[in-house]
């Protein structure tokens, strides 16, 4: 039998049900794998081995949908009593007194929580380089970034340091690292998964979602974490389908839209070729393909960096050294303590976004920036509404390039922000979107394809993604570490 840590959750569940392995055996192998590989990858910032091994033993023979399956959580998702720092010095030592709703749902399903994954500080970044713990590295080439901000989650799945992972996606932070690490990453519809217990970046954009080895695992994990939650006022009270039933290898009659605005200058030629080849394959399998237009796409990045930074500056005001986390020493008075704590606790990118957001919300600039951005956001949503009258799903590249070198864009924030140019519109419109592997560059780096659908129509996404995945071998490839 192959190594247990290299298997999918659905395969492990099958083996456990047959009695061919145990949750304890899986957990033991996985922690050995982390010990062997994470020194090179730096994906795991909190290793919960002791608790996880106890929980693995306790889950043996249980019937939960994820009983005995290891899951790694991004470091901005609260787990009661365990470190949750958002990869920031300002939350050093913080241990939440409660579980996030997704954490509780995972525990109820019998999952074994194995620790916390590295991330960009407060999810501010596209490269996993802004973490106070240092950068995570791409398992396919450790000189390169894994994508961000859920870079630790994606790198851990790609390097077999976990079976399943959760990330959060505000402007592409699940999909972009999934693409760059050659795994599957899904941003559910806004409101489909509770945000209670997710430390907020931009509350109108954030969404928790799965990062997995294949589409079947993504459907399984979403079925567990999705659903209404009265603790989250933006959670939507709709029934949760069994997403596994959408995994049919059949796209006959499926109308696929390809937006012309996504295939322009700046898109890497190898990425474009891989995505166009994927669309051609789906067409050969019976899908109908048509070119569509999303005319306000060019305004998405600038709109996002007004809305997101404005909400971030508001959300991060609570981190002040008074009740928890870092508190600066030698302050003269309370105001001095605030200034010193926030100056010492936040990294450069966090400070940049707080300053930008505060400026956009300030008197005299609110109407010129924030209000105008919200109006453009509505236009972007209307573009999608119109497009979905003509098609069932939309296919685009996930990232404009394969993974770039560590340090290559750290001094060029604008270039870094453009890494999310293809993923941001789905967040602004609140739509579901997935990234699945669709090819490799000449240098052997993974390339991802993004599939979007109407709000709460994750089933169409799974149908298209599963059909493509089962017709190719890209998702089976793993890096040699």
Task: Give the Cα separation of 475 and 185 in Å (integer).
Answer: 12
pLDDT at 13: 96
- Neighbouring residues of 144: CB distance < 8 A, sequence distance ≥ 6: 137, 138, 180, 403, 404, 405, 406, 445
**Rounded to 5 degrees, what are φ and ψ at 85?**
-120, -5
pLDDT at 61: 81
| Ranges of the chain whose pLDDT falls below 70 | 1-2
pTM of the model: 0.97
pLDDT at 1: 54
pLDDT at 265: 85
- Cβ neighbours of 198 (radius 10 Å): 24
- Cβ neighbours of 195 (radius 10 Å): 24
Residue numbers annotated as active site: 74, 149, 173
Start-to-end CA span in the chain (Å): 20
Tokens 């979905």 belong to residue: 388
Q: Which of 431, 420, 295, 306 is nearest to 373 (CA)?
A: 306
The answer to whether 106 and 165 have CB atoms below 8 angstroms apart is no
Task: Give the Cα separation of 203 and 353 in Å (integer).
Answer: 15
Fold entry, domain 4-254+394-476: Amidase signature (AS) enzymes (3.90.1300)
Domain ranges in the chain are 4-254+394-476, 298-374
Give the chain as a 3 state SS string.
CCCHHHCCHHHHHHHHHHCCCCHHHHHHHHHHHHHHHHHHHCCEEEECHHHHHHHHHHHCCCCCCCCCCEEEEECCECCCCCCCCCCCHHHCCCCCCCCCHHHHHHHHCCCEEEEEECCCHHHCCCCCCCCCCCCCCECCECCECCCCCCHHHHHHHHCCCCCEEEEEECCCCCHHHHHHHCCEEEECCCCCECCCCECCCCCCCCEEEEEECCHHHHHHHHHHHECCCCCCCCCCCCCCCCHHHHCCCCCCCCEEEEEHHHCCCCCCHHHHHHHHHHHHHHHHCCCEEEEECCCCHHHHHHHHHHHHHHHHHHHHHHCCCCCCCCCCCCCCCHHHHHHHHHHHHCCHHHHHHHHHHHHHHCCCCCHHHHHHHHHHHHHHHHHHHHHCCCCCEEEEECCCCCCCECCCCCCCHHHHHHHHCCCHHHHHHCCCEEEEEEEECCCCCEEEEEEEECCCCHHHHHHHHHHHHHCCCHHHCCCCC
**pLDDT tens digits, one per residue of 123-140:** 999 999 999 999 999 999
Q: How far is CA 189 from CA 150, 166, 224, 284, in A?
A: 18, 15, 15, 29
**Rounded to 5 degrees, what are φ and ψ at 463?**
-60, -50
* Helices 23-41 + 9-18 axis angle, to 10: 150
Strand partners, 47: 115
- How is residue 110 written in tokens? 């019998």
Q: How far is CA 374 from CA 21, 165, 424, in A?
A: 52, 32, 14
Task: Give the Cα separation of 379 and 368 in Å (integer).
Answer: 17
- How is residue 227 written in tokens? 């659903």
Task: Give the Cα separation of 24 and 67 in Å (integer).
Answer: 11
- Cβ neighbours of 61 (radius 10 Å): 11
């Amino acid at each position: 039998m192959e190594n247990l840590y290299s298997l999918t959750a659905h395969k492990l569940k099958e083996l456990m049900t047959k009695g061919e392995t145990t949750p304890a055996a899986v957990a033991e192998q996985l922690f050995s794998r982390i010990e062997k590989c994470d020194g090179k990858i730096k994906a795991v910032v909190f290793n919960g081995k002791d608790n996880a091994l106890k929980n693995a033993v306790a889950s043996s023979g249980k019937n939960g949908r994820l009983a005995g399956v290891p899951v790694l959580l991004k470091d901005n998702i609260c787990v009661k009593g365990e470190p949750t720092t958002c990869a920031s010095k300002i939350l050093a030592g913080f241990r939440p007194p409660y579980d996030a709703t997704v954490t509780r749902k995972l525990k109820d399903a019998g999952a074994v929580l194995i620790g916390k994954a590295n991330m960009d500080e407060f999810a501010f970044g596209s490269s996993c380089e802004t973490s106070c713990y240092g950068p995570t590295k791409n398992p396919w080439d450790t000189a390169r970034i894994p994508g961000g901000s859920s870079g630790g989650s994606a790198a851990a799945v790609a390097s077999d340091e976990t079976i399943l992972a959760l990330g959060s996606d505000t402007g592409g932070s699940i999909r972009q690292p999934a693409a760059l690490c050659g795994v599957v990453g899904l941003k559910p519809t806004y409101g489909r998964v509770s945000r209670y217990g997710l430390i907020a970046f931009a509350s109108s954009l954030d969404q928790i979602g799965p990062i997995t080895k294949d589409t079947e695992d993504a459907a399984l994990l979403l079925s567990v974490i999705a659903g209404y939650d009265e603790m989250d006022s933006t959670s939507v009270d709709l029934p949760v389908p069994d997403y596994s039933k959408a995994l049919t290898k059949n796209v006959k009659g499926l109308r696929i839209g390809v937006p012309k605005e996504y295939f322009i200058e700046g898109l890497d030629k190898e990425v474009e070729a891989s995505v166009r080849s994927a669309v051609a394959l789906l067409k050969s399998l019976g899908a109908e393909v048509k070119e569509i237009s999303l005319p306000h796409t060019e305004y998405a990045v600038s709109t996002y960096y007004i809305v997101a930074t404005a909400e971030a500056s508001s959300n991060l005001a609570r981190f002040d050294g008074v009740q928890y986390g870092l508190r600066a020493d030698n302050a003269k008075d309370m105001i001095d303590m605030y200034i010193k704590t926030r100056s010492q606790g936040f990294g450069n990118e966090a400070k940049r976004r707080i300053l930008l957001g505060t400026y956009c919300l300030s008197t005299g600039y609110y109407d010129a920036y924030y209000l105008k951005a919200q109006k453009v956001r509505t236009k972007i949503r209307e573009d999608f509404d119109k497009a979905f009258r003509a098609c069932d799903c939309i296919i685009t590249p996930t990232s404009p390039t394969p993974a770039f070198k560590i340090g290559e864009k750290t001094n060029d924030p604008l270039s870094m922000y453009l890494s999310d140019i293809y993923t941001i519109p789905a967040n602004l419109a609140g739509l579901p979107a997935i990234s699945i592997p669709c090819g490799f560059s000449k240098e052997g780096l993974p390339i991802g394809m993004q599939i979007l659908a109407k709000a709460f129509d994750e089933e169409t996404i799974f149908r298209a993604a599963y059909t493509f995945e089962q017709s190719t071998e890209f998702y089976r490839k793993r890096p040699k570490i």
